[in-house]
Chains A and B, each alone.
Chain A
């Protein structure tokens, strides 16, 4: 067991975890934040993407103990006091989601892209999102949403 201290969605917490606990498991099971999804067991689908100190990371590829002291933001922490983030608004407007399963990871990943690139081209968006699999949307509306969000942020 290890004891860890984290800031999750702006709230400081400290918990005991098993050494082998994945960050994704910790978020879902210990913190009950089930917006972070698990889509694979080989770290290749991106459904579990969260922000660790502002950078998008696959939470299934990290141990909870590894991010001790970090600031973690999950999809639940993206809206500001009930006001949707421009990326969330854009996904809604452009029908960038269907079943919603890939969506939290997709949105968190896209938000990080815009931190690094103010006005990405279609090609840059598609390449950046290469680590996030969506089986429903065919990606086109996701690309449109990210572009639209870029113009508003």
Chain B
């Protein structure tokens, strides 16, 4: 066995099944006697439901039942919840409207769930759906983030559509910094609404076993344990100990599969009520309408700056759109995942951040790759760019001047950053991107009639979500520790149970590398078990780049316990003192002797504690048989990945078309377990972030119809949109977990939108908002030249 698996580019254990078509996603599961479900959704953005007539549909061929809010209420099924309490600056709690799993008297976005048709075939369910008559009284929809507070309330008792008005920071101190500033730079930014678009559409299959009274839900979830907890405790579908949730292979999540959806609740309940398996698979159009969306902020921000370029204060005023209801993590995303991060990598002595969260008649907005941190990074990095230009300073120098230099660093808002070296990755990124020769390349582009621009972005994340004490004191409904169990089998192979979930992140491989390294067992003898509440210990799932830092550490700790027990057993068998036993590369050794036992022998002895030669039992007195250890890990602090990205674009002024010509990133993720997998995570994040900057936009018209509800209208980034990314690293290990890892899953999506936009704006010399489509860039250039002409 290689000396260390940690840090090696090991090929993935999970690949073979996916490459041969043997992946097993929820939609691939077929149960005996299963029925098919089809959801009737609201075609209106805002309406009262006067009546639902299901009588005709119920009689249609193959129909088993048509379920509405009436049946849901009969069975006392609870509504969906918001899992994180936010308190407004005036001390009042956030305002959360009821969110029934099937709409009872009103609908609040196009795609809102109204009724479920269950039939013998999908075609029959769909046909019958046409026969359900819903009588709506259509009301004027509230659609725009910026107008919501001046519009009619869409939920009773929620004045101005305002859920909360939250603040963070020292306002008086910040005001003082602004009054003594030499220069104030302001801007208004829109962070465009996105649709996560995991390639596997959501799906659920409910299955009730009348004999054991066990209810099973197969579903596309990033955290089955949390879903089960919520669906037992709040939706009251079934008691937790009789409720099993299985998230088999899941085709991408990016946040959109963290939270249980109305469909999960209704399908699980329907299976129990109808006593037959109920299968529902979302169609892409319905995914666009009803998956939670991401971002959607309008922000006014300003910097207070001294003449020498020192930034002394930051003010941020954001309106965040929650959509029609508050989804599970919707309230934490624009507050605690956003506000504390607005300072970026900069040492700014004072800051104040105000966030107003509003309801509109659009799909609920929740965590999407980066969740709050991309919005924070976009704000500070666009603002720093503008400030540098207005100060007449080089944009790179201006950033460097304001970087945090000493660690640990207590920021003026919330976070205490344990480690980092920001100048190191920034300088490396400048070098790798050949910044010093940019003007030459710009001239070359100009000679071809093209406009070239360069943009920087630096970012910090708070990852490894997270320390339970910290998050619960901030309003989280649950702690965010993680669990692991190592089951050593008698024959020497290992099952590793984790409470995290892998849906592309390669846990099967990365976690096996940690175990292989810690226990000296070959990779092929280690199997990761996740995604089934019946198989592993309770865990918090995968999001916020937490799996390795928190879940990986729990695994490492469970391995340590195995070694500890193994030492006791080995000492007894080798007639030595447990303290003197050394464990290395899978062997327990008595130093300066030839006495040793392999970990396989120890495992075998633990399960079959019979006579071993002279030894009556290999187990010392008081040691229980078996070799299985559980560990829970609750970190002391978040981890803080950071990095510097540089983007160069070339714009064709005749068409407005923008091409990303080069993209360079240098990230500090602390220690890397598998660099190949880390690189893959960066690539994917970059594609999503560049997608946000140049192509993607969820657009509702004034009546609340989602105009971009298919791949014809919503521009997904494709292979020919990107250059080859240049990637490098610096490393300052995290001190908050023993692996020294920081998390890498979201970095690309966080850092790239401002890098691209700063480059586009540098190229065209005028403002443009995301996504910088050809049309918008062309118009911005035209407006600029029209204004010039007028002035002349």
Show the binding face of A for B, using Cβ within 8 Å. 28, 32-42, 44-45, 47, 74-76, 78-79, 84, 88, 91-93, 95, 97-104, 107, 122-123, 125-127, 129-130, 132-143
Query: Complex formed: what's the CA distance from A76 to B28 in Å?
Result: 14
B250 touches A99 (CB 8 A): yes
Query: Complex formed: what's the CA distance from A133 to B195 in Å?
Result: 14
Query: Complex formed: what's the CA distance from A40 to B281 in Å?
Result: 12
In the bound complex, residues from chain B placing their C-beta under 8 Å from that of A100 are 14-15, 17-19, 23, 249, 251, 504
Query: Complex formed: what's the CA distance from A30 to B748 in Å?
Result: 41
| Total interface residues in chain B, CB < 8 Å | 56
**Distance of B4 from chain A, by nearest CB (Å):** 20
Show the binding face of B for A, using Cβ within 8 Å. 11-12, 14-25, 27-28, 30, 197-201, 249-252, 254, 283-285, 503-506, 676-677, 679-680, 682-688, 710-712, 716, 718-720, 722, 724-725, 748
Q: A84-B20, A139-B722 are in contact. List 10 more A-B contacts (CB 8 A).
A: A35-B21, A41-B284, A75-B20, A84-B16, A95-B676, A99-B249, A100-B504, A101-B199, A127-B719, A133-B199
Query: Complex formed: what's the CA distance from A133 to B199 in Å?
Result: 8
A126 touches B719 (CB 8 A): yes
B201 touches A39 (CB 8 A): yes
A-B CB proximity, top 6 nearest: A35-B21, A100-B18, A101-B251, A138-B683, A99-B504, A98-B504
Other-chain contact of A92, B12, B200, B687, B720 (Cβ < 8 Å): B12
B505 touches A98 (CB 8 A): yes
Query: Complex formed: what's the CA distance from A42 to B12 in Å?
Result: 32
B249, B679, B683: most-surrounded residue (chain A CB, <10 A): B683
In the bound complex, residues from chain A placing their C-beta under 8 Å from that of B27 are 34, 38
Cross-chain pairs A/B with CB under 8 angstroms, 19 sampled = A34-B24, A34-B25, A36-B21, A38-B27, A41-B284, A45-B284, A76-B21, A84-B20, A92-B11, A92-B16, A95-B676, A99-B249, A99-B503, A100-B249, A127-B720, A130-B719, A135-B716, A138-B684, A142-B719
Other-chain contact of B252, A38, A98, A104, A126 (Cβ < 8 Å): A98
In the bound complex, residues from chain B placing their C-beta under 8 Å from that of A104 are 18, 21
**Distance of B260 from chain A, by nearest CB (Å):** 20
A129 touches B710 (CB 8 A): no
Other-chain contact of A103, B19, B719, B748 (Cβ < 8 Å): B19
**Distance of A137 from chain B, by nearest CB (Å):** 6
A93 touches B11 (CB 8 A): yes
**Distance of B350 from chain A, by nearest CB (Å):** 38
B683 touches A139 (CB 8 A): yes
In the bound complex, residues from chain B placing their C-beta under 8 Å from that of A140 are 683, 722, 724-725
In this complex, what residue of B is CB-closest to A140? B683
Query: Complex formed: what's the CA distance from A123 to B721 in Å?
Result: 10
Known: A41-B284, A139-B719. A34 touches B199 (CB 8 A): no
A97 touches B199 (CB 8 A): no
In this complex, what residue of A is CB-closest to B712? A42
A97 touches B15 (CB 8 A): yes
In the bound complex, residues from chain B placing their C-beta under 8 Å from that of A36 are 21
Query: Complex formed: what's the CA distance from A33 to B716 in Å?
Result: 27
In the bound complex, residues from chain B placing their C-beta under 8 Å from that of A38 are 27, 201
Query: Complex formed: what's the CA distance from A92 to B9 in Å?
Result: 12
In the bound complex, residues from chain A placing their C-beta under 8 Å from that of B19 are 75, 84, 88, 91-92, 97, 100, 103, 107
A101 touches B719 (CB 8 A): no
**Distance of A120 from chain B, by nearest CB (Å):** 12
In this complex, what residue of A is CB-closest to B198? A135
In this complex, what residue of A is CB-closest to B682? A138
B20, B249, B676, B716: most-surrounded residue (chain A CB, <10 A): B20
B21 touches A75 (CB 8 A): yes
Query: Complex formed: what's the CA distance from A95 to B24 in Å?
Result: 19
B711 touches A122 (CB 8 A): no
Query: Complex formed: what's the CA distance from A127 to B720 in Å?
Result: 5
In the bound complex, residues from chain B placing their C-beta under 8 Å from that of A107 are 19
B686 touches A138 (CB 8 A): yes
Query: Complex formed: what's the CA distance from A35 to B687 in Å?
Result: 25
In the bound complex, residues from chain A placing their C-beta under 8 Å from that of B197 are 135
Query: Complex formed: what's the CA distance from A129 to B28 in Å?
Result: 25
**Distance of A71 from chain B, by nearest CB (Å):** 17
B23, B30, B198, B716: most-surrounded residue (chain A CB, <10 A): B23
In the bound complex, residues from chain B placing their C-beta under 8 Å from that of A99 are 198-200, 249-252, 503-504
In this complex, what residue of B is CB-closest to A87? B19
In the bound complex, residues from chain B placing their C-beta under 8 Å from that of A76 are 20-22
B25 touches A101 (CB 8 A): yes
In the bound complex, residues from chain A placing their C-beta under 8 Å from that of B676 are 95
